[in-house]
Amino acid sequence: MNLNLKNKLVLVTGSTAGIGKSVARGFLEEGAEVVINSRSQEQVEVTVNELKPFGKVYGVAADLSNPNATAQLIAQVSQIGHVDILINNVGYFEAKPFEQVTDDEWFYLFNLNVMSGVRLTRVLLPKMLEQNWGRVIFVASETGVKPMPDMIHYSVTKTAIIGLSRALAELTKGTKVTVNSVLPASTWTKGMEIYLNKIAHNTGLEVEELTTAYFSQGDGKNSLLQRFLTPQEVTDVILFLCSVKASAINGVAQRVEGGLLRSIL
């Protein structure tokens, strides 16, 4: 299927690993030009070199929890060209008891997971509207509609992203610009592997045992896939939503969670 993404300029935040890196590569393979981002200059340089064989890729290091660094990212990207597609992917998750999460941790998570997307979209969306074409995707999570008690602060940021995405879509009425969010379930990434290894170390269990328990007894028991998603499965949905084929899909919270959410709406 031709997604007509050739020569589009795409900014993917948090794209040196996991879903973000997979999405960046996917756009490159479709002929788009991609700006990748991470707070680490070293990681950006390594990833740019790794992705170069797939297409025209740029890298900008910036800590998007910081508004000044975000402004610098916007300035550098503007030197490259007009952003046609914005993928607000950057985010951080952790499991921590609610009563132990400090105000500073709440503010940090909101600055990174939510406000990074607010700041970038505030600048880039009006330019898309002027051009009468553009795509904005917020990578949320199934926890945004099914909050996890051991990740309340993370879950709340994802709920905020879903609401933000829908509200921004209202600003695109009558144009060829769309704003959507994507709700993946647990996806097997390096971050997930590190997270599970940490739990395994603390509990004395093997990662395989934790995975089995998650899908048989834990939050994953309603999953119809009964496995973790792959980054490619999430990427494929995001690429479609950014294509001309998805011109009638706007303001939606698109699930990519393998039937984990047991509801028809």
Return the active site residues. 154
Alpha-carbon radius of gyration of the chain:
18
Distance CA 27, CA 30 (A): 5
Amino acid sitting at position 242: C
3-state SS track over the chain = CCCCCCCCEEEECCCCCHHHHHHHHHHHHCCCEEEEEECCHHHHHHHHHHHHHHCCEEEEECCCCCHHHHHHHHHHHHHHCCCCEEEECCCCCCCCCHHHCCHHHHHHHHHHHHHHHHHHHHHHHHHHHHHCCEEEEEECCHHHCCCCCCCHHHHHHHHHHHHHHHHHHHHHCCCCEEEEEEEECCECCHHHHHHHHHHHHHHCCCHHHHHHHHHHCCCCCCCCCCCCECHHHHHHHHHHHCCHHHCCCCCCEEEECCCCCCCCC
Tokens of 153: 């602060």
Say if residues 162 and 102 touch (Cβ distance below 8 Å): no
Say if residues 98 and 142 touch (Cβ distance below 8 Å): no
